[in-house]
Structure 1
Amino acid sequence: MATPPGGRPRSAHDYPLAEIAEHIRHERRRVSVLGEVRELVFGAQDGLVSTLAVVAAVVGASSDNRAVLIAGLASAMAGVFSMAVGEYMGSKSQDEIFDWHLADERREVRERPFEAQAEVAWLFMEEGMPAEDAWEVSGIISRHPDSLLATMVAKELGLQHSLGEETAGSPLRGALVMGAAFAGGAVVPVLPFLVAEGLPALTAASVLTGLVLFVIGAVKSRWTRRSWLTSGLEILALAAVAGVAGYLFGTVLPTLLGFGGL
């Protein structure tokens, strides 16, 4: 945001309100995008890691390449629907809970405005604001019901609320993003088994999966402000643990259960 004309601002009134409004809209759009980035990263990462673990387990238990392909694709399809439905239901439930709390707080503002004002004053005092200032600020806010409601929802319940403006994606859009990301990630560990089999295919799948995961972690650092190398290696380490665990379960567990060599 640009500095007001004349150099250093003397007060908050020196900032053009149009620029302030555009800056806030930009920040809200950025937060909305970050929500979709989370779904993309989470879905793709889970698709890569879980599918790699499945194919590693099957390779460890069987030399039949068709079994590996069937297990990998079945795991991918099940994961797509599970992740998409889970994301949809989770987001929808969160929205419903938020709407219920919002209605409850709106009723309090309408029916018990002085109680709402006292709560806001206490919340400001809890943050360290002197009592006199807290009562003065809450008194000003209480003259504007929408502002009082937004303050109570944000400070009392810790929920995000912006009257008249949508700041997050819909549950359906989140479900589609999550499902598509999982599907894209799940395909990667299966691809090498279309042209090879056994340990060579598993090695190629592990390397390819690790490379994609590292890239996801490195790209994610653009929004997390972490080192791209640290972020990439962190996700790569997670995949390595899942892949080794899957392979060991596929080789050791069948033997312990008396199914070795099947």
Structure 2
Amino acid sequence: MKKSRYTSIEEEHHPEAIRRRLHAPNKVQTVPDAILGGIDGCVTTFAVVSGAFGAGFSASVALVLGFANLLADGFSMAVSNYESIQAQQEHIDGVRESERRHIEQVPEGEREEVRQIFRQKGFDGDMLERVVDIISQDPTVWVDTMLTEEHGLQTQALSPLRSAATTFAAFLIVGMMPLLPYTLAALSATQQFLASLTVAALMFFLIGMLKSVVYHQPVVQSGLRTLLMGGAASGLAFATGYLAHAWFGVGI
């Protein structure tokens, strides 16, 4: 196992493999949007289910409230994610344009910025000047260098629409799962809630496992952490519904 893994790493670092990887276009990452939408969707609908059960509402009320929140919150979250990504892209574009103007108006000042940036990285003397000359020869490379090194911004393009669509789809698909037991009229209210609880717990754990695979984290630990966070949010919703029923007589 160790030998095959080492061989795989060696192959990934072969000059030709490195060349293909570095020249390949940057892919827009949608996994974080899917994870965010899935977790929030499951928390949202199961929180409604927990609150309704704690308050003593019927299954039909829990189902209606759950689907209403699923659609409204999912759309709201998708729009918010779209606006957030769009704002990031506009900020990057603005900084990029500003750096282009600075290079045109004060090229020596911008060269000095490059010089000081790479001096901090350990370059000095003729090597430092050669680095400055090479970077400043290509305006695109020059601007991208200033974006990443001076401003700490990424240079790859963002996709607000794709991020919003991914968030909305994950929110709906995962968020719908805890509501499915409430469509089974043969189950009692307690059985519906326990089934919904089991499904929600499974969703939280699976999302945590997916996150661990993508970001190379411990699988069980990541799954349990996501499960605990989702369970805490759902527990607060249940307690709120229960206390509202006990204190104010809300419910059936």
Q: Same fold (TM over 0.5)?
A: yes
Residue 94 of structure 1: CA displacement? 1.0
Number of positions where the alignment pairs a residue of Structure 1 with one of Structure 2: 240
Give structure 1 stretches of 5+ with no counterpart.
5-14, 162-166
Residue 255 of structure 1: CA displacement? 2.7
Separation in structure 1 between the aligned mates of residue 173 and residue 12 of structure 2, nearest angstrom? 41
Residue 95 of structure 1: CA displacement? 0.9
> Pairwise mapping of residues 148-227 of structure 1 onto structure 2 (< 5 A)?
148-161=142-155, 167-195=156-184, 196-227=187-218
* Aligned partner of residue 129 in structure 1, secondary structure: coil
TM-score by length of 2: 0.87
Separation in structure 1 between the aligned mates of residue 251 and residue 134 of structure 2, nearest angstrom? 77
**Contact 2:46 2:234 survives alignment (8 Å):** yes
TM-score by length of 1: 0.84
Answering whether residue 40 of structure 2 is matched by residue 24 of structure 1, we say no
Separation in structure 1 between the aligned mates of residue 243 and residue 196 of structure 2, nearest angstrom? 21
Separation in structure 2 between the aligned mates of residue 117 and residue 250 of structure 1, nearest angstrom? 62
Change (3 A) 1:190 1:25: farther
* Aligned mate of 1:141, from 110, 135, 146: 135
* Aligned partner of residue 123 in structure 1, secondary structure: helix
Separation in structure 2 between the aligned mates of residue 245 and residue 185 of structure 1, nearest angstrom? 20
Answering whether residue 104 of structure 2 is matched by residue 114 of structure 1, we say no
Separation in structure 1 between the aligned mates of residue 61 and residue 55 of structure 2, nearest angstrom? 10
* Aligned mate of 1:238, from 229, 242, 252: 229
Change (3 A) 1:221 1:168: farther
Change (3 A) 1:219 1:186: same
Residue 247 of structure 1: CA displacement? 0.7
Which digits, 9 at most, give the CA deviation of each residue in 1:50-95, with x for residues without a partner? 2111110011112322211111011101111111111111111111
Kindly report the root-mean-square deviation, in angstroms, between the aligned alpha carbons of the 2 structures.
2.1
Separation in structure 1 between the aligned mates of residue 12 and residue 219 of structure 2, nearest angstrom? 30
Q: Which amino acid aligns with 2:183?
A: L
Which digits, 9 at most, give the CA deviation of each residue in 1:17-76, with x for residues without a partner? xx54311145833xx3xx211111110111011211111001111232221111101110
Partner of 1:36: 30
Separation in structure 2 between the aligned mates of residue 119 and residue 158 of structure 1, nearest angstrom? 14
* Aligned partner of residue 207 in structure 1, secondary structure: helix
Structure with bigger RCO (C-alpha 8 Å, 6+ apart):
2
Residue 2 of structure 1: CA displacement? 6.3
Separation in structure 1 between the aligned mates of residue 251 and residue 175 of structure 2, nearest angstrom? 27
